[in-house]
Structure 1
């Protein structure tokens, strides 16, 4: 398919990243508000449930639903047509398979937001299991379910480590258009991606441990990751730092919505952050 044929995927991508940014803005915002008032940081389900009870909650939940569906469609298109040119070698196929999994996860989140609009249940999660625990419990009941959970945990753990490497090496710059905003606020983007890596890595460890112990209750999501961090030395400080970092990740998502470059659509002549940084380094050497 030609670049022009695929250009319609770009608005879908931008809507998806915008919706993803709203999710992290809600989670980080409610968590920081709770911490400021002496409470506990919120998991995704708890934050969405609290959002549903707010004045503009219904509208925001609908926007999250639309955004998550768009993000799932975008990831499917990206993986199918290799819009970001990861290639067909082993590394590229793993990356493209990861896009499908990520899309499914965000679609599930979108469905959860949609259901909150039409149910009276709080979805708070207090006293009940998180969606990840329920999913792990279900899969463990399947043939070879424990192995499947372990593989999923390792994949999640790998994704978290990948986010960390992506932040440290600033590889995300390869897909962002260079301009005054993205250049000046690159440190915020880096902190956001790193914070996301921390959370995803902890969740991956939980899932792997659940598989190791054959106990679904050992799994957990964002809320359980916050609880674990809170139990460490200077736990409240750690949670607050990660929450601020997730605000940075929300900004990262919004920046992607506005300035992400899709190579197969944009072509090779777009000035990305990575290309500008390389040119700047070359000028220094010369």
Structure 2
């Protein structure tokens, strides 16, 4: 009984950062159990994206080629296994998009309605939309949709205007801020509030931190390139992971930097997969489950 009360208090600690969060004692986890499979599928799909991109890029580099962006990496998957992989990626990303939307709407992670909580929940919606868009890219890689020079021309025309230049620049700066937040998560390790404590998560936490830091570096590079494109009104520099790889390759020891980044993204893929298996949803959590944060605190006392 004491252990049960302690783990419930741990869940309270997770929510205590958000002043107006609903009392978790008043919530029956079974009411939100339906959200757990969606969350698991979403994080698994996200993990698969980074596994494919980093894996294909490393293989290409070792074969004398170049690192590839998300769409190019998916297009390089051929044959029945490749098609199945891309379908799994798309389904997972759409599941992740849905998960972020319902997570925000039902406040499943108890962020509450304080200013900080509202910002966090808006961020969930944004990440949901972004990952839904990546899911569309996956479908595009199968050849069921098309995107080409017309979209690039529209972006270029938009960026030639003063409004377009400012919008793209601000979008780039916000992306940089997102990358900084990933670094903050890696340093503060606040993700431990939402991960179950077990042998793997407790002993391999350094890999999770490295993966988050690598994702932070990637997102910051992408954001910086987008912001620069906005300031220079040049749409060719505004891109995703492929553009970031191209920029890194042009630097001193470029290939080594790209390889290190790919290895880091494999770590982020692991981080996403660990979340798929062991993430704690405060409003849907079994009270007997202990978080990493609680376990670390317990070991320190």
Q: Same fold (TM over 0.5)?
A: yes
Helix, strand or coil: the match of 2:103? helix
Equivalent of 2:272 in 253, 260, 263: 253
Looking at structure 2, the residues matched to 272 and 179 of structure 1 have their Cα atoms a distance apart, in angstroms, of 9
1:72 corresponding residue in structure 2: 97
Mapped pair 1:117 → 2:142:
yes
Residues 1:232 and 1:13: Cα distance change in structure 2 (over 3 Å): same
Mapped pair 1:153 → 2:172:
yes
Report the CA distance between 1:148 and its aligned residue: 2.3
Mapped pair 1:6 → 2:32:
yes
Mapped pair 1:180 → 2:232:
no
Mapped pair 1:202 → 2:227:
no
Residue by residue over 1:11-61, the C-alpha shift from the partner in whole angstroms, topping out at 9 and shown as x without a partner, is 00000000111110000100110111121111111101101x244111011
Report the CA distance between 1:97 and its aligned residue: 1.2
Helix, strand or coil: the match of 1:232? coil
Looking at structure 2, the residues matched to 120 and 209 of structure 1 have their Cα atoms a distance apart, in angstroms, of 30
Q: Contact 2:180 / 2:220 at 8 angstroms: preserved in 1?
A: yes
Q: Contact 2:208 / 2:271 at 8 angstroms: preserved in 1?
A: yes
Looking at structure 1, the residues matched to 108 and 156 of structure 2 have their Cα atoms a distance apart, in angstroms, of 35
Moved more, 134-143 or 177-186: 134-143
Structure 2 alignment gaps of length 5 or more: 1-26
Report the CA distance between 1:134 and its aligned residue: 6.9
Helix, strand or coil: the match of 2:280? coil
Helix, strand or coil: the match of 1:106? helix
Equivalent of 1:28 in 54, 59, 65: 54
Q: Contact 2:86 / 2:142 at 8 angstroms: preserved in 1?
A: yes
Looking at structure 2, the residues matched to 172 and 138 of structure 1 have their Cα atoms a distance apart, in angstroms, of 41
Report the CA distance between 1:90 and its aligned residue: 2.4
Looking at structure 2, the residues matched to 10 and 247 of structure 1 have their Cα atoms a distance apart, in angstroms, of 24
Looking at structure 1, the residues matched to 215 and 136 of structure 2 have their Cα atoms a distance apart, in angstroms, of 22
Looking at structure 2, the residues matched to 233 and 143 of structure 1 have their Cα atoms a distance apart, in angstroms, of 34
TM-score normalised by structure 1 residue count: 0.88
Mapped pair 1:212 → 2:238:
no
Looking at structure 2, the residues matched to 155 and 214 of structure 1 have their Cα atoms a distance apart, in angstroms, of 18
Residues 1:212 and 1:280: Cα distance change in structure 2 (over 3 Å): same
Report the CA distance between 1:218 and its aligned residue: 2.2
Q: Contact 1:26 / 1:48 at 8 angstroms: preserved in 2?
A: yes
Mapped pair 1:280 → 2:299:
yes
Report the CA distance between 1:267 and its aligned residue: 5.9
Aligned residues between the structures: 275
Helix, strand or coil: the match of 2:142? helix
Report the CA distance between 1:213 and its aligned residue: 1.6
Looking at structure 1, the residues matched to 73 and 256 of structure 2 have their Cα atoms a distance apart, in angstroms, of 20
Report the CA distance between 1:270 and its aligned residue: 2.9
Residues 1:135 and 1:7: Cα distance change in structure 2 (over 3 Å): farther
Looking at structure 2, the residues matched to 134 and 266 of structure 1 have their Cα atoms a distance apart, in angstroms, of 48
Helix, strand or coil: the match of 2:67? coil
1:243 corresponding residue in structure 2: 262
CA RMSD of aligned residues (A): 2.4
